[in-house]
Chains A and B, each alone.
Chain A
């Protein structure tokens, strides 16, 4: 149990376009979902925390108008990178926790975004 999927697994887009990444918990209801980005050989950087039905909480330095997060249901969160630029190229990973008081995170397989 505790499977999280992400779609797409990789995407190439042109500068100035928007890209939507989906994160789904397949066999559990996720009370909280997290979005991270990761650069090669670096740590996961938390971008935002989202709870179903409420606005996402963004980390300092993360532009909320650039990275739109929608947590529409207990099994689906989406991250939209708006007006993408080459510097947005990165590995984006979502994770979810299940149940209140649960701390371990279940991660999706990640989405490799390349902006040309």
Chain B
């Protein structure tokens, strides 16, 4: 069956360091992959979309990689700040416009 795996354990890092979150998937061949940020009690906010023919995408302090051979995406936040603390969701296209979300990884950035 299809699976999206994100590290369920929270990631704790020091302010200024680079946070790296992992998204692994099985039994998918997504045309694109997305990352969202979700704060407690709020709806997710779109961050980045990367297509299957793109290896890397950047937006300000964010960088996403997409390895279709490894079936993995890495999400990096450089020069992390306490305001980056949130849950980050990986999402895959699953045919047409349907998107399947991972459970997310909670990130805590300590000042």
Residues of chain B in range 41-55 having any CB-CB distance to chain A below 8 Å: 41-46, 49
Q: Which of A32, A103, A112 has the most CB of B within 10 A?
A: A103
List chain B residues, Cβ under 8 A from A34: 99
Q: Which residues of A contact B (CB under 8 A)?
A: 4, 6, 32, 34, 41-44, 46, 49, 91, 93, 95, 97, 103-110, 112
Are B41 and A112 touching (Cβ within 8 A)? Answer: yes
List the B side residues contacting A97 at CB < 8 Å.
Answer: 97
Given contacts A44-B89, A49-B98, contact A107 B44 (CB under 8 A): yes
Q: A42-B103, A44-B101, A49-B98 are in contact. Are A103 and B43 (CB under 8 A)?
A: no
- Closest chain A CB from B53 CB (angstroms): 14
- Using CB atoms and an 8 Å cutoff, list the residues of chain B in contact with chain A: 4, 32, 34, 36, 41-46, 49, 89, 93, 97-104
Jot down 25 A-B pairs with beta carbons below 8 A, ordered by A: A4-B43, A6-B43, A34-B99, A42-B103, A43-B4, A43-B101, A43-B102, A44-B44, A44-B89, A44-B101, A46-B99, A46-B100, A49-B97, A93-B43, A93-B44, A95-B43, A95-B44, A97-B97, A105-B34, A105-B44, A105-B99, A106-B46, A107-B36, A109-B43, A110-B43
B34 touches A104 (CB 8 A): yes
User: Are A104 and B49 within 8 A (Cβ)?
Assistant: yes
Give the interface SS of chain B, mostly helix, strand, loop or mixed. Answer: strand
- By beta carbon, the residue of chain A nearest B97 is A32
Q: Is the CB of B41 within 8 A of A103?
A: no
Specify the chain B residue showing the minimal Cβ separation from A57. Answer: B98
Cβ-defined contact, B34 with A46, below 8 A? no
- For the complex, give the distance between the alpha carbons of A105 and B34 in Å: 10
